[in-house]
């Protein structure tokens, strides 16, 4: 019988995995609720969705997966004692997080200019809640990446990168549900 | 996880994202379109779990996460088709 428990197999801190699972469940429940409410007015949801910028959101997917790649590289480089390269990768990763937020900000500004708000249609209530909550996580992630670039212990970088990959994964599921499944 | 493995994972994620964008441009029945888009998203989450989050080293956890995410995608797809 092996002495290694299943829990010990998880890379990094257990609490970070508890957080990752909790966040996935919260966003997952939100997306299921969105699809459930869509059943009450599929035509209205499709019409509302046509106001979204799919190209910008698709570009943001590429931005986030590239940012995640840099965060993953930073951990490898720090473990190989390449501290300067790791810090640079983390700052670049955080910068791409800022690019994501700028594109998201442009999208929100455009909606506001069209007079689209929370109460315009139930679609937009979910749109703002889910993408806004995700954007708040991106903002937190940018701060965490910069923090671990400064306090660059490998365990810190691993935890920061794991948080960032969770944010990335949530967007990968959120994007098709909100922007594509009309 | 080597740097080359991470680079391949990143290129795969970009390729799959491009694939999703292409899929939305082809005239296909909603079921095919929705199913294809969700399948590509599922593959992307698996790549992130396995490569970025290093769960390739913990196959039982990777299997568990994949099963739950597949169940989630099936629910979303079912609601989409109703």
The verdict on ipTM greater than 0.90 is yes
Which pLDDT score, from 0 to 100, does residue A2 have? 57
**B1 vs A143, A147, A164, A173, B50, CA distance in Å?**
26, 24, 18, 24, 10
Task: Compute the mean pLDDT over every residue in chain A, rounded to the nearest whole number.
Answer: 94
Q: How many CB atoms lie within 10 A of CB A107?
A: 18
- What does the pLDDT look like over B26-82, one tens digit per residue? 888 888 999 999 999 999 999 999 999 999 999 999 999 999 999 999 999 999 998
According to the model, what pLDDT value does residue A1 have? 52
**Residue A155 in contact with residue A45, Cβ under 8 Å?**
no
Domains and CATH numbers, chain A: 44-180 (1.20.120.80)
Interface test with A, best of B44, B56, B69 (most A CBs within 10 A): B44
Prediction pTM value: 0.94
Q: What does the pLDDT look like over B13-25, one tens digit per residue?
A: 999 999 988 888 8
What is the nearest CA distance from B47 to chain A, expressed in angstroms?
A: 10
Nearest to A76 among B6, B60, B69 (CB): B6
Digit-coded pLDDT (tens) for A65-83? 999 999 999 999 999 999 9
Say if residues A71 and A89 touch (Cβ distance below 8 Å). yes
What pLDDT does B40 receive? Answer: 96
Confirm or reject contact between B49 and chain A (CB < 8 A): yes
CA dihedral A173, A176, A179, A182 (to 10 degrees): -130
């Amino acid at each position: 019988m092996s002495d290694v428990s299943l829990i010990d197999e998880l890379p990094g801190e257990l609490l970070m995995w508890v957080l990752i699972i909790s966040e996935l469940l919260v966003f997952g429940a939100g997306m299921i609720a969105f699809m459930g409410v869509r059943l009450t007015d599929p035509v209205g949801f499709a019409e509302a969705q046509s106001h979204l910028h799919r190209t910008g959101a698709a570009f943001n997917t590429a931005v986030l997966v590239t940012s995640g790649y840099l965060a993953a590289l930073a951990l490898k480089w720090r473990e190989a004692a390449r501290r300067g390269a790791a810090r640079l990768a983390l700052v670049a990763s955080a910068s791409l997080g800022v690019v994501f937020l700028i594109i998201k900000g442009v999208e929100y500004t455009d909606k506001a200019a069209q007079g689209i708000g929370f109460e315009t249609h139930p679609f937009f209530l979910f749109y703002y809640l889910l993408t806004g909550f995700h954007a708040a996580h991106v903002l937190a992630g940018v701060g965490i990446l910069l923090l671990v670039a400064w306090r660059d212990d490998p365990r810190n970088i691993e935890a920061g990168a794991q948080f960032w990959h969770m944010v990335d994964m949530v967007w990968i599921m959120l994007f098709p549900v909100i922007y594509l499944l009309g | 996880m080597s740097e080359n493995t991470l680079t391949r994972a990143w290129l795969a994620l970009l390729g799959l994202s491009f694939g999703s964008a292409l899929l939305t441009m082809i005239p296909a029945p909603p079921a095919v379109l929705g199913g294809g888009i969700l399948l590509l998203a599922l593959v992307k989450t698996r790549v992130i779990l396995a490569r970025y989050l290093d769960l390739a080293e913990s196959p039982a956890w990777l299997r568990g996460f994949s099963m739950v995410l597949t169940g989630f995608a099936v629910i979303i797809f079912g609601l989409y088709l109703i």
